[in-house]
Amino acid sequence: MSLFLFTLMKGSLKMTDQQKQQPKYFAQDVDKVLAAVDSKRTGLTGEQVNANLAKYGPNALAEGKRKTKLQRFLDQFKDFMIIVLLVAALISGLVAREWADALIILAVVLINAFMGVIQESKAEEAIDALKEMATPEARVRRNNAILSISSDQLVPGDIVLLEAGDVVPADLRLLDAASLKIEEAALTGESVPTEKDVATIAKDDVPLGDRNNMAFMNSNVTYGRGVGVVVGTGMHTQVGQIAGMLNSAKETTTPLQDNLNSLGKTLTVLILIIAAIMFVIGFMRGDASWIDMLLVSISLAVAAIPEGLPAIVTIILALGTQKMAKRNALVRKLPAVETLGSTDIIASDKTGTLTMNQMTVEKVYTNGQMQDAAADIAPADTTLRVMTMSNDTQVQEDGNLLGDPTETALVQYGFDHNFNVTDEVEKEPRVAELPFDSDRKLMSTVHQLKDGRLFVAVKGAPDQLLKRVTQVAAKGQVQAMTPAAEQAILDVNTSLAQNALRVLAMAYKYIDKLPDQLDTETLEQDLIFSGLVGMIDPERPEAKAAVEKAKAAGIRPIMITGDHQVTAEAIAGRLGIIEPGDDDAVITGAQLDAMDDKTFDEKVDQYSVYARVSPEHKVRIVKAWQDKDKVVAMTGDGVNDAPALKSADIGVGMGITGTEVSKGASDMVLADDNFATIVVAVEEGRKVFANIQKSIQYLLSANLGEVLTLFMMTLMGWDILKPVQLLWINLVTDTFPAIALGVEPTEPGIMDRKPRGRSSNFFSGGVASSVLYQGILEGALTLGVYLWGINFPVHSTYDAIHADALTMAYATLGLIQLFHAFNVKSIHQSLFTIHPFANKSFNWAILGSFVLLGATIAVPGFNGLFHVTYLDLSQWSAVLVAGIAILVIVEIVKFVQRRMGKQ
């Protein structure tokens, strides 16, 4: 796409009718589900498989309609400003025979078109990533035999077998579940694996994360085993719905597009008006033919149209992407650089973005005392021993932990406190176990001690474990459990839970021998309560400071998560997104469903935390803020975030923990998954906008000066500057300094300003008035030097006098712009307070432009090409005085503006 038509795949995202009508299998019992998909526990027959494959198609995600490279290339020329430049090139070449002008303009347009195609080619990566996520194989039961097949051959009705380590190959209604846990963070945003069962859910409007009898495509089995019947394949899965929403995304424009399109139309209207006036004046005077006046109009177009603007803005954006990349923000689409600078809302996913996406022990209640996780704990502490020994985590050779995230957190806590779990288990090996069961919510292991006794370690849900406890270990002693002691434990459990901690209870006992029959009645009774462990997916250490910095910059951070309300509210309070206990700022997905769009739009300002939400909710939230004319940045790392990432003004994916789907749908990716990096990127985005604004102020004031010079010369009947002279000024004295202004250092206090918002443009903040008076000033000074050359000639002949005067006007128009470049380093601040020579690129650009301008006058052989003459010292002095004059006059105006409070 062209610079002026950066097209992003965004907009309202909707499910297809077929997807909406998908039966709610979670609310039906197993027999009804099997009947609905015409299957049975022994699996489908070969004939049924073939019939279903023909009916439903392969278990794969459909692609959206894609444009060819030729279509993408042609799309680059639909922008209004690009069309104007093409017309100007056409007229310059065919009518005015200024082929150099025409070729240079065409070169700029083509470069932008090729860059646009390269950038746009990345926009379809989201769907590609979704397709590649499909698991290669699945174990199924067909004709009562177990087969291993390619997952794309699964059909509704297939019976799928699951075990730890598997990727779920399709959407399943579970038939059997033995201690089954599935990690669904990429879909639901929950950091803790979901415990699965087969019980029918009474309600038919439960959120995705609460459908415990379902297994969803591309989620991961972390524990236990299960059997399920396929109820959805391909586009009829939850992941398929997301793919459908991505495919149906509508296109919208970015603030950068809006600003540049508006600028292009404004310039074009002004050019046409002035050209028409000049044309009329020429005919009224009667001393010029229509061809002559057409050539004058072309000269005006060359002077007025900033041919280098597309390339300059592209270069500034590209340089901004390089700066961001060094700070771990990888920009995939150029407009994202500038869009960040106008961000009003950062809508952030919780899991993996604001938090670590890693369960961590935070509090330990042991021996009757509460302590932080960082506090020391004795190796002989029974709570420590139980949590690490009643545990199925595997310690790999490289030290990494493999297993359920909750269990790996407990083992990691042990290692962090110099308790070598591997050595301890070798000393006291496991000789028996009762695996975790979702009904009793306990897990027990039995370990052989050196003295011949057996140590029974039990961990599980506090309410279930306390039913089996008869004693409690506190203050170094084991005492009988009393109602008061039990209530004290329950109070601690409640306190931990209210702080969004997931709580596990630990208990133990010693026995002399294993019971003949190993079950909960023989092994998990008469236990000694040891302690409680509180765990959480903690907030990132840098996230709180980043939230504070965003708020100081006038940006409102909001949290959108699939996690439970209590957890979301606690994390948001700890981060400073909301005040702790501010329940009115929190809303759930179910509450959002019960609210119509009008009511939600009226109340969206109230909410800063959205809990238990679905992908559709996230898009609705983003759109509600956009309807309030806010620029929204959405961060996320899961498959469930992809539609909202694409719908937002700027989608920010996570480079480390993020799925390929979320990264493909994003405009920018954080290489370090650091939420603070997005605030750094916002600062860079604001700097980029400010620098583009400076470049536009410089270019337009310079071009206005050129237009006024030509207009007044035509009005007065004087000889006018040639198109080649104007083009050289535009390309040399305009382009290089304008690019150098794009890498100006960040102005102090840029993050203390409020977001400029969607309604602002490149002319806001005093730029419009500056362009007007500075352009008029440049034109007046240039005409003044021209008149000086006429009235104080160094030659005697008429032709020589006018040739010198035109050369002086040409030199003044170029040199005055180079001096003026120093003025636009800041709109209101004095040149002498902003370190005018700190930007080395700018210094070299000014010097190089001066040399190239002077060479056209001073170097032999260039005179004829550029229609100029040699100037003597007095004439150069007049040119130099005009250049210095614009510095002095603009400094005086800035001083007056600051005294009037315009900053």
The CATH number covering residue 728 comes to 1.20.1110.10
> How far apart are alpha carbons 465 and 444 in whole angstroms?
11
Q: Considering only residues 252 and 397, tell me which one the structure prediction assigns the higher pLDDT.
A: 397
As to burial, measured by CB atoms within 10 angstroms (0-12 exposed, 13-18 middle, 19+ buried), residue 594 is: exposed
Written as six digits, the tokens of 656 are 């480390």
Q: Which of 69-73, 407-411, 771-775 bottoms out in mean pLDDT, i.e. has the lowest?
A: 69-73
Residue 214 lies in a domain: yes
> How far apart are alpha carbons 218 and 528 in whole angstroms?
41
Written as six digits, the tokens of 861 are 């052989």
Tell me the pLDDT band of 846, cut-offs 50, 70 and 90: very high
Residue 531 shares a structural domain with residue 544: no
Asked whether the predicted pLDDT for residue 320 surpasses 70, the reply is yes
**Average pLDDT along the chain:** 82
Asked whether the predicted pLDDT for residue 203 surpasses 50, the reply is yes
Region of residue 526 (phi > 0: left; psi between -120 and 50: alpha; otherwise: beta): left
Segments of 382-476 assigned E as strands? 394-395, 401-402, 430-437, 442-448, 454-460, 469-474
> How far apart are alpha carbons 720 and 736 in whole angstroms?
25
Residue 95 lies in a domain: no
Q: Confirm if 632 and 347 have CB atoms less than 8 A apart.
A: yes
CATH number, domain with residue 673: 3.40.50.1000
745 Cβ neighbours under 8 A, 6+ residues apart:
835, 838, 839
Last residue of a domain, one of 536, 564, 591: 536
Q: Considering only residues 808 and 721, tell me which one the structure prediction assigns the higher pLDDT.
A: 808
**The pLDDT value given to residue 3:** 29
In the predicted model, what is the mean pLDDT of residues 834-852? 88
- For residue 835, what are the CA distances in angstroms to 343, 684, 698, 842, 891? 29, 19, 18, 12, 15
CATH number, domain with residue 511: 3.40.1110.10
> How far apart are alpha carbons 253 and 125 in whole angstroms?
20
Tell me the pLDDT band of 171, cut-offs 50, 70 and 90: very high
pLDDT digits (tens, 9 = 90+) for 469-512: 999 998 889 999 999 999 999 999 999 988 889 999 999 999 99
Residue 196 shares a structural domain with residue 59: yes
Please give the single-letter amino acid code of residue 392: D
Strongest mean pLDDT among 302-316, 603-617, 650-664:
603-617
> Domain containing 801: what range?
261-323+684-750+758-899
Nearest to 294 by CA among 106, 107, 90: 90
211 Cβ neighbours under 8 A, 6+ residues apart:
26, 201
Q: Considering only residues 115 and 207, tell me which one the structure prediction assigns the higher pLDDT.
A: 207
Q: Confirm if 660 and 129 have CB atoms less than 8 A apart.
A: yes
Asked whether the predicted pLDDT for residue 869 surpasses 50, the reply is yes
pLDDT digits (tens, 9 = 90+) for 607-640: 999 988 877 788 899 999 999 989 999 887 767 6
Name the pairing type of β-strands 527-536 and 469-474.
parallel
Residue 515 lies in a domain: yes
Exactly one of 158, 166, 349, 641 is catalytic; name it.
Answer: 349
Q: Confirm if 226 and 193 have CB atoms less than 8 A apart.
A: no
Written as six digits, the tokens of 91 are 């007229």
Residue 499 shares a structural domain with residue 597: no
Asked whether the predicted pLDDT for residue 723 surpasses 70, the reply is no
SS3 444: strand
In the predicted model, what is the mean pLDDT of residues 206-226? 86
pLDDT digits (tens, 9 = 90+) for 39-91: 999 899 989 999 999 999 898 876 556 667 777 677 767 665 566 667 766 76
Residue 738 shares a structural domain with residue 851: yes
* DSSP label at residue 199: P
Residue 57 shares a structural domain with residue 201: yes
Residue 51 shares a structural domain with residue 168: yes
In the predicted model, what is the mean pLDDT of residues 454-481? 93
Written as six digits, the tokens of 369 are 């005392």
Residue 772 shares a structural domain with residue 884: yes
Asked whether the predicted pLDDT for residue 797 surpasses 50, the reply is yes
**The pLDDT value given to residue 20:** 43
Residue 552 shares a structural domain with residue 515: no
Strongest mean pLDDT among 61-70, 383-392, 544-553:
383-392
Residue 118 lies in a domain: no
Count other C-beta atoms under 10 Å from residue 203's C-beta.
Answer: 10
Nearest to 728 by CA among 846, 849, 823, 859: 849
Last residue of a domain, one of 536, 563, 583: 536
Q: Which of 34-38, 58-62, 557-561, 851-855 bottoms out in mean pLDDT, i.e. has the lowest?
A: 58-62
Residue 122 lies in a domain: no
Is residue 349 annotated as part of the catalytic site, yes or no? yes
Q: Confirm if 711 and 336 have CB atoms less than 8 A apart.
A: no
Residue 466 shares a structural domain with residue 563: no
Site of tokens 């290089």: 736
Last residue of a domain, one of 215, 247, 279: 247
SS3 530: strand
Written as six digits, the tokens of 595 are 């609210």
> How far apart are alpha carbons 615 and 623 in whole angstroms?
13
> How far apart are alpha carbons 699 and 817 in whole angstroms?
9
**The pLDDT value given to residue 862:** 79
Written as six digits, the tokens of 465 are 């474990």
Written as six digits, the tokens of 696 are 């536009």
Residue 771 lies in a domain: yes
Residue 518 shares a structural domain with residue 567: no
Rounded to the nearest 10 degrees, the angle between the axes of helix 565-575 and helix 483-498 is 60
Q: Where are the alpha helices (DSSP H) in 604-674?
A: 615-627, 642-647, 660-664
> How far apart are alpha carbons 788 and 808 in whole angstroms?
9
User: pLDDT above 70 covers what percent of the chain?
Assistant: 83
> How far apart are alpha carbons 183 and 402 in whole angstroms?
14
Residue 107 lies in a domain: no
Written as six digits, the tokens of 394 are 């595997």
**The pLDDT value given to residue 836:** 83
CATH number, domain with residue 220: 2.70.150.10
Residue 254 lies in a domain: no
Q: Confirm if 810 and 789 have CB atoms less than 8 A apart.
A: no
| Count of domains observed in the chain | 4
Residue 650 shares a structural domain with residue 788: no
> How far apart are alpha carbons 622 and 576 in whole angstroms?
21
Residue 43 shares a structural domain with residue 177: yes
